[in-house]
Structure formats: structure tokens, C-alpha cells
Amino acid sequence: MAAVIEASERISQVHIEGLALMKIVKHCHESLPHMVSGSLLGLEVSGGILEVTHAFPFPDSRAAAGSAAAVSDTMEGDQDGHEYQIEMMRMLREVNVDNNCVGWYQSMYLGIYSTSSLLENQLSYQTDLSPNAVVILYDPMQTTHGKLALKCYRLTEECIRLKENEENAFIDPRKIFEEVPVKLTNPGLVKALLMDVADGVHDDSSNLQLFEKEHNTNRLGSSTVKTTFDRLDLSTNPYLEKHLEFLCGWVDDLAVEQQKMQFYARQLHRDKHRRKDSSAGDAWASSDAPRRMESLLITNQIRSYCEQMNQFTSEGIEKVYLMSGMQKKD
Amino acid sequence: MPQQSPALLFDTTTTTTVFVHPLVLLHILDHHRRRPAGSARVIGTLLGRFDDSGVLVEVTNAFAVPHAERGDEVAIGKDFNKTLWALLQQNSSKQQREVIVGWYSSSPLLSDTSSLIHDFYSTETEDGNPVHLVVDCRLTEENAVTMRAFHSTPILVQGETLGNLFHELPLSLRSNEPEAICVSEMIKSMNDNNETTEREKPPLQISMEQLYELLETACTYVDAVVDGTTPPDTEKGRHIADALATVPRMRPDAMDKLFHESLQDLLMVTYLSNLTQTQIAIAEKLNATLDLQ
């Protein structure tokens, strides 16, 4: 990665430009069902703001291998990807794009983000590139019904310290990742265009309307209005089913991890009677001890999942009451 | 924008309609903003898909190409174009392979250099008929960002090419669902900047209010027609009737059953997730004590 800028202050907000967002969205959607990743370009500006102005995808060398559920592991194609990145950034510099890598993005499947591959990847970004590197997660599956599912995360200092010292210690699962608020910004010209779109300037030509009718296509003007009505969609069951399914999976995984821990703890306990000298702390630090980070990540994932479900169900309940109210009036 | 009749222009060739995705426009505007000092316009390559029937070109992506103009001469970064295109091709999936469909420029003028660049892109596209997209960034015409698409045909006089004739093509913005969501999200965030004081209403409320507004409009229209103040329009009437027909008619008891069932489902899920959360919290506490042993 080309320029490493020494961070003056810790960033507190991420401003993403429409162009970068659209590029991420396009890449993630077109590669479905594969989960993909890419690089973010931008600048750190004063006031603790990280501006993301451009994004480009990583080459999809492992497209065939990754299944839908498995969040792709970018570390694998790293060697190939690194050259690609440098080449890409060199090209983009020629056309005056911000030539500074500020992080990476990845597509997320139904809110799954707390995985060890993401952790390792983000760790390498935050230690090698810049402490202010972030990962932007975009969920192509959840981005429906007028809602944009975009999240920005980074590792906490506590977590980085833990990983760097290779400690196998406990950390509050809530404090592994921290979310950075994301804000959409746009340069003046793009704002002008958006204003036109909002006013419906770009969808007035009459011969196109005929064409639309024949081909049954969406125009931008009409569909921007439509997104607000998509929220009224009543079908919640497929989502809930999927969510419960995943939750079951995570709980099972957690149980397996806990069992490993328990087994190891019991073994330690037995050994303690034989060898009095070694302390428990050393034993947990040894390389064959089960990694505690695994279970902590799963815990974190389950928590965020539950929150997501709660939010979803409360919306669903609102809608159900709304529907019954409307029907009774008739 | 002058509206030429399609019949006048396209009686000899098939009419091609150009669909542009918002990403492309954002890219062009961004590129224009980052143009080198002193240059009036920027150019770049448009990527997309041709429809099989040839009546439709969809522009889904674009990338910038450096170029320099001096008087009648123009230099295009041909190698740049080739390399970047090869790089981009590496990560596009097989089924949605994009091809070069044409080029864009951010200046409103079709100059001599335009036809030179167009000639270059004729060799780059498969069928040798690239689309030229012009986005006017000066904001003078109609006080808006205007865009036009062109095809060109060479003017042949006794087998010699004298120049290019640019035809304007019908052009429309098109966005798929995620793009539309992004755009509406961007419009929203832009409005938020202007009026930060206004508290954010729950999204559901906004949707319902808009729905009521639309119903209100329909009601006033129908009332006006019934009163005889507005002449009736059969097409509008049909649309209203269609909309009314989509409201499902249900018996109250069936409705009640449905209501309770979905409510119970939702409550059950909430209960399960709360239960899990509690369990997780306990597990966490236990886990934390492991260190203290």
C-alpha cells in the first residue's frame, strides 16, 4: 500500500461519498451469492473525519471456492491481490483520484460480521497501514425495503493490544469491534444532480414512458419515491426464519467452543495435582490452549444478531397492528 | 434540451435507447471535479451491456481515461485504457460481463476532437458503434446537470470519410433497487444537512403519511369528477379501480386469525432472542471469571 500517513488523531466519523458507496453496492450486488471485498481510497481530514472518496474491488480469484454462507477470506489471495491493488492505485492516481488507502470493504451476509477472518484482516490493516483504517460492511441481502444496510467498524485499542501480545485472555465481546458512525456526503456537482433527480427532472421524456410500459422497467424518479413504500411490506416470515436458523447455528458453534474450553480447563485441573509449579495463566497462554477469541467473537455475533432480530420484530409488530387498524376501519 | 422527433433522425437506423445508471453519472461528475488544471473537460470509457435486439444500451459502469487536447490535436491514454480495462475485467463475474459500450465527456460541445476520440472508441467496441455520453457540468442549461447520448455515422462522399454525424439518442436514468435505495438515502442525507433541527420521524410514519397523502389526492380527484368539476379520464379511473382491487377483502374472523398468528410469531421470536441474550450475558460473566482462577 502506497502512502502511509501518520495519524494525528483518532477518527470519530467516516464520511463516505456517493460514488464510493455506489461502487461498493454495485460490486457486492453483482457478485452475489459470493461475498466479495475491495479497497477504500480517501483522505483523513482534520476534525477526526475520515473521507472515503473512491473504492475498487479486489480480484475475485476465489469466486468458485467460497460458498454463500462462508464470508470470503481475503488473506488467501493476498499475494495476487497486493499487486493488483498497487497497479490499480497507480492507474487511479493518473486521473487524480485520492491515492491513499484508508481501509477496505466487504459484503456481509445477513449481518454476520464478527468472524475471525474479518478480525485478522482488520488487524493487519490497523497495524500495517494506519491505526485509523476502517472496514465498511455492506449487506446486500438486507438492503431491501428502502433500508440501506451499511456499517463501519474498526478494532478497539484494547483488542489490538491483546492480539499483538498474543494473549489468550478474556475481553468483553462488546469491546472487540467498535462501530464508527458513517455519513453520506457528496460534492456540489453531485448534489446538483441529486436535486434534479429528486425534482424528477430526469424522467419526463414522453417516448421513454412508452418504452417503459413495454419493457416494464423501473425509472430512477419513480423508484426513489417507491422506496418509502417498500417499508410497508408485510412479509416478515422468510427473514425471521433465516434469522432463527442462523442464530441456532451460532449457538451450536458457541456450545462447541465452550465444550473445548471446558475440556481444557478440566485437563488443567487434573494436571495441577501432578505439577504444582505451572500456574493456570501460563497454561492458558500456551499454544495448544483453545483460542478464547473464537468464542468471544461468536458471543459478539449472537448479541448483535439478537439486537437485529429485536429491531426487526418490533418493526413487524408495528406493521401488524397498523394493518389490523386499517382493516377494522373498512 | 431540444426535443427532436425520433422519426426525423432515425428512419434509416434502428433507434437505440440508452439507459444510464446513477453510478456512471456520479463517476463522471467526480472525475470532472478532479480534472487536471486548465483542461476544460474530461473523458472516459463507458462500460455496460448491449441488448440482444440492439434497441437498448445499458451503461452500468465507467472509468476515467487521461487525455490532453491542444487545438485540433488530441492525445488519449490508450495504454491506460487498455490496462485499466484488463484490471477491471479480472473481477467481473462471468454471467455479468461488461463490455466497452462507448465513451463520455464532461463538456457540452461536440468538437473536431470529439470525432477523433469517437474514432478511437469505434475500434474499441465490438460492433464499432460506440455511444457518446455528454454530461453538461456547467449548470447553465435549464439550471440543471443535463446529459445527452449520441451515436455517430460517418459521412461518406464517394467512399471518402469527411466527418462524423452525431445523432442524439433517447436517454434515461435507470437504477436497480439497491441503487435507488442509495440515491434516495443520499437525497435524504442532503436534506438533513440543510435542516438539522428537524427531528427524524420514524420511517414507518413517513411512509404512512405519504400513503395518506396519495389517498387524499386520489379522493379529491374522484370527488371532483363526481361533482362534475373535472372531466373524467377513463385511464385514470381504471388505475384507481385497479389500485382499489388490490386491497384484499377478508372476513373479520379470518383477519383476526391472521393478525394473532403473525403477532404470536413475532413475539415468540422476540422472546427467543431475549432469552439468548440473557444466556449470553451469563456465559460472559462465567467466562470472565476464568481468568481469576
**Residue B84 with chain A: CB contacts under 8 Å:** 91
DSSP annotation of A191: H
Residue A39 pLDDT exceeds 70: yes
Whether the bond into A57 is cis, omega within 30 of 0: no
Element containing residue B239 per DSSP (H, E): helix B234-245
β-sheet with A37-45: strand ranges across: A177-179, A150-155, A134-138, A101-107, A37-45, A49-57, A13-17, A182-185
Q: What CA–CA distance (Å, rounded) separates A190 from A17?
A: 10
Residue B143 backbone zone (phi > 0: left; psi -120 to 50: alpha; other: beta):
left
DSSP annotation of B199: P
Q: What sign does the CA torsion over A23, A24, A25, A27 have?
A: positive
Q: What CA–CA distance (Å, rounded) separates B81 from B114?
A: 17
Contact of A50 with A14, CB cutoff 8 Å = yes
Region B126-141: mean pLDDT is 74
Contact of A62 with A77, CB cutoff 8 Å = yes
Per-chain mean pLDDT for chain B: 75
Residue B20's nearest CA partner among B171, B129, B132, B168 is B171
B142 in A contact zone (CB under 8 Å): yes
B254 in A contact zone (CB under 8 Å): no
Best of A136, A138, A235, A313 to disrupt the B interface (most B CBs within 10 Å) is: A313
C-alpha distances in Å from residue B143, one per residue of A189, A195, B94, B138, B266: 12, 11, 41, 9, 50
For A21, other C-beta atoms within 10 Å of its C-beta total 27
Helical spans, DSSP H, in A72-127: 78-94, 116-124
| Interface contact flag, A205 B211, Cβ < 8 Å | no
Task: State the pairing for strand pair A134-138/A150-155.
Answer: antiparallel
Give the model's pLDDT for residue A156.
81
- Residue whose entry in the numeric block shows the C-alpha cell 435507488: B180
Best of B30, B78, B194 to disrupt the A interface (most A CBs within 10 Å) is: B30
Element containing residue A103 per DSSP (H, E): strand A101-107
**A203: which 3 cell numbers?**
424522467
Indicate the range of A14-18, A26-30, A47-51, B91-95 predicted with least confidence: B91-95
Nearest-Cα distance to chain B for A132, in Å, is 24
Contact of B77 with B44, CB cutoff 8 Å = no
Region B253-262: mean pLDDT is 83
Give the model's pLDDT for residue A287.
63
B215 in A contact zone (CB under 8 Å): no
CA angle B246, A145, A69 (to 5 degrees): 125
**Residue from the list B84, B93, B272 with its beta carbon closest to the beta carbon of A30:** B93
Residue A52's nearest CA partner among A66, A39, A62, A64 is A39
The better pLDDT of the pair A233, B274 is held by B274
| Interface contact flag, A292 B208, Cβ < 8 Å | no
CATH number at B6-175: 3.40.140.10
**Residue from the list B6, B173, B250 with its beta carbon closest to the beta carbon of A207:** B6
Share of chain B above pLDDT 70, in %: 77
Best of B169, B262, B292 to disrupt the A interface (most A CBs within 10 Å) is: B262
Residue ranges per domain, chain B? Answer: 6-175, 203-247, 249-284
Indicate the range of B11-15, B47-51, B219-223 predicted with least confidence: B11-15
Task: State the pairing for strand pair A134-138/A101-107.
Answer: parallel
* pLDDT tens profile A161-208: 777 776 666 777 777 788 888 887 777 777 777 777 766 655 544 334
The better pLDDT of the pair B16, A256 is held by A256
**B49: which 3 cell numbers?**
451491456
- CB contact residues (below 8 A), chain B span 97-136, against chain A: none
Give the model's pLDDT for residue A67.
35
Contact of B118 with B132, CB cutoff 8 Å = yes
**What's phi and psi for B30, nearest 5 deg?**
-65, -45
C-alpha distances in Å from residue A213, one per residue of A209, A216, A218, B179, B242: 6, 5, 10, 21, 16
**Residue from the list A26, A207, A299 with its beta carbon closest to the beta carbon of B284:** A299
Q: What CA–CA distance (Å, rounded) separates A321 from A272?
A: 60
A13-185 CATH fold: Cytidine Deaminase; domain 2 (3.40.140)
**Residue from the list B56, B145, B178 with its beta carbon closest to the beta carbon of A189:** B145
| Interface contact flag, B182 A218, Cβ < 8 Å | no
For residue B21, the chain A residue with the least C-alpha distance is: A220
DSSP annotation of B229: S
| Interface contact flag, A309 B270, Cβ < 8 Å | yes
**What's phi and psi for B20, nearest 5 deg?**
-115, 135
Give the model's pLDDT for residue A234.
66
DSSP-based three-state secondary structure for B33: helix
Residue ranges per domain, chain A? Answer: 13-185, 188-230, 237-329
| Interface contact flag, B170 A316, Cβ < 8 Å | no
| Interface contact flag, B187 A314, Cβ < 8 Å | no
Residue B162 pLDDT exceeds 60: yes
Instruction: Report how far Cα A207 is from the mean position of its chain's Cα atoms.
Output: 42
CA R_g for chain B: 28
Write the DSSP assignment of A123-175 as a string of letters: HHIIIII-TT-EEEEE-TTT--TT---EEEEEE-HHHHHHHHTT------GGG
**Residue from the list A170, A198, A220 with its beta carbon closest to the beta carbon of B173:** A220
Give the model's pLDDT for residue B96.
63
**Residue A211 with chain B: CB contacts under 8 Å:** 17, 170, 172
ipTM: 0.73
**Residue A144 with chain B: CB contacts under 8 Å:** 177, 181
- CB contact residues (below 8 A), chain B span 56-85, against chain A: 56, 60-61, 64-66, 77, 80, 83-84
Give the model's pLDDT for residue A238.
76
**A259: which 3 cell numbers?**
465444550
* pLDDT tens profile B62-105: 888 887 777 677 777 777 777 777 777 766 655 567 778 888 88
| Interface contact flag, A205 B172, Cβ < 8 Å | yes
Region A137-151: mean pLDDT is 75
Nearest-Cα distance to chain B for A207, in Å, is 8
Q: What CA–CA distance (Å, rounded) separates A28 from A35?
A: 7
C-alpha distances in Å from residue A43, one per residue of A50, A51, A85, A163, A237: 6, 5, 17, 27, 42
B47 in A contact zone (CB under 8 Å): no
**Residue from the list B145, B267, B283 with its beta carbon closest to the beta carbon of A192:** B145
B206 in A contact zone (CB under 8 Å): yes
**Residue from the list A190, A243, A314 with its beta carbon closest to the beta carbon of B29:** A190
Residue A134's nearest CA partner among A24, A298, A267, A232 is A24
**Residue A217 with chain B: CB contacts under 8 Å:** 19, 174
As a dihedral over the C-alpha atoms of residue A284, residue A290, residue A296, residue A297, rounded to 10 degrees, the angle is 140
**Residue B250 with chain A: CB contacts under 8 Å:** 327
How far apart, in Å, do the first and last CA atoms of chain B sit?
A: 78
